[in-house]
Amino acid sequence: MNTTTSTRINTTTTLSAGQASTLSLNPGYLARRNALDWVFAVLVAGGFLYAFAQYSAYMDVYEKGILFATIPATIAIGWFWRPLRLLMGVVAVLSLLSIASYQGDLARAEQIFWLKYFLSSQSAILWMSMLFFMSTVFYWLGMFASTAPTGNGGSSHSATLESLGSKIAWVGVGMALIGTLVRWYESYLIGPDVGHIPVSNLYEVFVLFCWMTTAFYLYFEAEYKTRSLGAFVMLVVSGAVGFLLWYTVLR
């Protein structure tokens, strides 16, 4: 039996007993990255280094270590799930706008319009809460709405309502992330000994649970092309938001 093997970049062809078979060679992880992937990586690294240069005085050694460890993690997540890139960009821009608007004075949260109503940590997290409630309502309405296509051949009422629920959930995740990042900065404006990573108490942990649970579900939704679980997942998130609001008032 004579066997001849020829190797190219992506395939290996083997001739054996007059029959040919081709084996595909998968390119490496980095070899599969395109130009946009590398541009994204450079922007992420540059953004984090800018944040370190501007705000390292507010961080202790543990927070600096976490910041640098987050760079490769953020790049890997953005490469793995590309829709997150736009979310990351919007969150970064609005968070930096909020931080710059404070100018080192926490009292400006009540003086600047977009801080008072949108981009302070408290405002952003309240927006998150409302958006997650709205998302839950739209998912449940979509579950019970008609699945028949509309008269003009468009999407069904069910698909339209569930699509709105999904988009609102994305905005809610963005507001949660903005609120979390701004809260980190605000804690240092209160006092250097008060400053902390915003996962240090029950309130912050529940905010983390809400947006992470929603983000995991949105990945499931995109990966499997179904919104059938949205009503149930967002109901759990809404329950957590309800507890968060109750805890805030009680505290």
Reported as a single tens digit per residue, the pLDDT across 56-105 is: 887 778 888 888 999 999 999 999 999 999 999 999 999 999 999 999 89
| Integer Cα distance of 129 and 135 in angstroms | 10
* Residues 216, 109 within the same domain: yes
* Residues 232, 128 within the same domain: yes
Q: Is residue 219 part of a domain?
A: yes
Q: Is residue 81 part of a domain?
A: no
| Integer Cα distance of 51 and 40 in angstroms | 16
Q: Is residue 67 part of a domain?
A: no
- Give the range among 14-18, 39-43, 205-209 with minimum mean pLDDT: 14-18
Neighbour tally for 179: CB within 10 Å: 28
Model's pTM, two decimal places?
Answer: 0.85
| Integer Cα distance of 98 and 101 in angstroms | 5
> What number is the average pLDDT over the span 99-124?
94
| Integer Cα distance of 97 and 91 in angstroms | 10
pLDDT of the residue at 3: 45
> Does residue 19 carry a pLDDT above 60?
no
> Does residue 1 carry a pLDDT above 60?
no
pLDDT digits (tens, 9 = 90+) for 237-246: 999 999 999 9
* Residues 224, 125 within the same domain: yes
pLDDT of the residue at 25: 62
Q: Is residue 115 part of a domain?
A: yes
pLDDT digits (tens, 9 = 90+) for 137-192: 999 999 998 777 766 656 788 999 999 999 999 999 999 999 999 998 999 888 87
pLDDT of the residue at 147: 78
Query: DSSP E strands: which ranges in the chain?
Result: 3-7, 11-16, 19-24
pLDDT of the residue at 2: 46
* Residues 237, 117 within the same domain: yes
Neighbour tally for 11: CB within 10 Å: 11
* Residues 201, 112 within the same domain: yes
| Integer Cα distance of 180 and 211 in angstroms | 10
Which residues constitute the domain of residue 16?
Answer: 1-32
Cα 187–chain centre separation: 22
Q: Is residue 25 part of a domain?
A: yes
Three-state DSSP class for 78? helix
* Residues 28, 147 within the same domain: no
Q: What is the chain's mean pLDDT, rounded?
A: 87
Q: Which amino acid is at 95?
A: S
pLDDT of the residue at 74: 94
Backbone torsions φ then ψ of 104, nearest 5 degrees: 80, 10
Q: Which amino acid is at 172?
A: G
* Residues 131, 21 within the same domain: no
Q: Is residue 91 part of a domain?
A: no
Beta-sheet strand order (sheet of 11-16): 3-7, 11-16, 19-24
* Residues 247, 139 within the same domain: yes
> What number is the average pLDDT over the span 23-38?
80
Q: Is residue 11 part of a domain?
A: yes
* Residues 28, 109 within the same domain: no
Compute CA distances 48 → 100, 180, 196, whole Å.
16, 16, 18
Q: Is residue 88 part of a domain?
A: no
- Please give the share of the chain, as a percent, with pLDDT higher than 70: 88
- Of the CA atoms within 13 Å of residue 177, those in its CB half-sphere come to 21
Between 25 and 158, the higher pLDDT residue? 158
* Residues 15, 110 within the same domain: no
| Tally of domains within the chain | 2
* Residues 114, 14 within the same domain: no
